[in-house]
Amino acid sequence: MNGVRLELRTQTPWWLNLVLPLAAIGLTLVLCSGLIVLAGANVFTAYTKLFLSSLSTPFNLVETVVKATPLVFTGLAVTVAFRAKFWNIGAEGQLLAGAMAAAFIGACEALPAWSLVPLMVLGGALAGSIWALIPAVLKARYKVDDVVTTLLLNFVLYYGMMALLDGPWKDPLSGYPDSPDIRAAAEFPILLRATRLHLGALLAAAAAAAVWLMMRHTTLGFEISAVGENLKASRYAGINIGAVILLTATTSGALAGLAGVGEVGGIHFQVMAGLSPGYGYTGIVIAMLARLNPIGVVPAAIFFAVVITGAEAMSRATGVPVFLADVIQGMSLITMLAALMLTQYRIRANRTEHE
């Protein structure tokens, strides 16, 4: 009887690594088109509005880049962690930790004006690193499940932040549960006049290049990849597994923290409840879609920024709910995970003996 079976690959073709993310996105759009039909809209019109509205004018194009900036940071954070099989689901909390540190430093009147932006960047990265270090220590020393700890720490940080915003950190001028505004000197420089394109976009691009160089050309990058590929072989080769996990976590947390710094220094200029609409969780999808390639994170982040930015224009034009953007994000992760199986296995047809 004929059938199919999965055969383990000895080598993955280079072109397959390029095609699979595109195929995953294409399949996602096909599957999500059913929701557009159910909403009573034309699929072609809805997708045209979704993708072209984000790129149709210089203003929309800049806004898409602005929206992609924190996604690049969180995508890189997850990429570094996952390469070492440190399952960091806590980029959201690390982002908020970085944002809180940046807002505190940026509002400090005792600091000289020239030092505010550099200290915000350093402080936010350090805060994200410290928050990521907690589950890393628990994993390295006590073998505690990093998926659980990193995820739960997101809620610990969020509700701790809200307690501060509703209490001692509440802005006395507005009366709302927001932190005080940062000083004008702490606001990120604008890269393009009359837009919101701020220094954070430049830092995100530099971070992508730096992470790629680290992974490809440094001892730490090699050790991160080695630990992720084969823990026993890495230990046999003399790699300090615990130290690599800790360094991976702090690097990952720093990148996520920088996403929060950019949102405070370049967009909101304060900390608020809705500072992040889930950028840390979207970073997981971006990292997987990029196949944990730091350079691939950039186009993947831009794709999701286009979807997020264009969702409102699509909704106004066609009546399709903006929540389609969230469905596309989730479906992209599912289809990409399914597609990743094809990098390890090939599908073969079973043949009967007489054939």
Q: What are the DSSP calls for 3-28, one per residue?
A: EEEEEE-SS--HHHHHHHHHHHHHHH
CA 287, 295, 55, 332: dihedral to nearest 10 degrees? -20
349 phi, psi to nearest 5 deg: -85, 135
Task: Mention every residue, 6+ apart, whose C-beta is less than 8 A from residue 27.
Answer: 335
350 SS3 class: strand
> What pLDDT score was predicted for residue 10?
65
Closest listed residue to residue 72, CA positions, set 348, 226, 280, 334: 280
pLDDT of the chain, 355 residues: tens digit per residue: 456 666 666 666 777 777 888 888 899 999 999 989 988 888 999 999 988 888 888 888 999 999 999 999 999 999 999 999 999 999 999 999 999 999 999 999 999 999 999 999 999 999 999 999 999 999 999 999 999 999 999 999 999 999 999 999 998 887 788 999 999 999 999 999 889 999 999 999 999 999 999 999 999 999 999 999 998 899 998 999 999 999 999 999 999 999 999 999 999 999 999 899 999 999 999 999 998 999 999 999 999 999 988 888 898 888 888 888 888 888 888 888 887 777 766 666 666 555 5
Q: What is the DSSP letter of 109?
A: T
Could you give the domains of the chain?
66-318 (1.10.3470)
The alpha carbon dihedral of 49, 52, 54, 60 has a sign of: negative
Distance CA 287, CA 182 (A): 31
118-138 per-residue burial string, b: 16 or more CB within 10 A, e: under 16: ebbbbbbbbbbbbbbbbbbbb
The per-residue pLDDT for range 269-295, each reduced to its tens digit, is 999 998 999 999 999 999 999 989 999
Cα–Cα separations (whole angstroms), residue 337 to 51, 225, 285, 303: 24, 20, 10, 18
| Residue 1 CB coordination number (10 Å) | 4
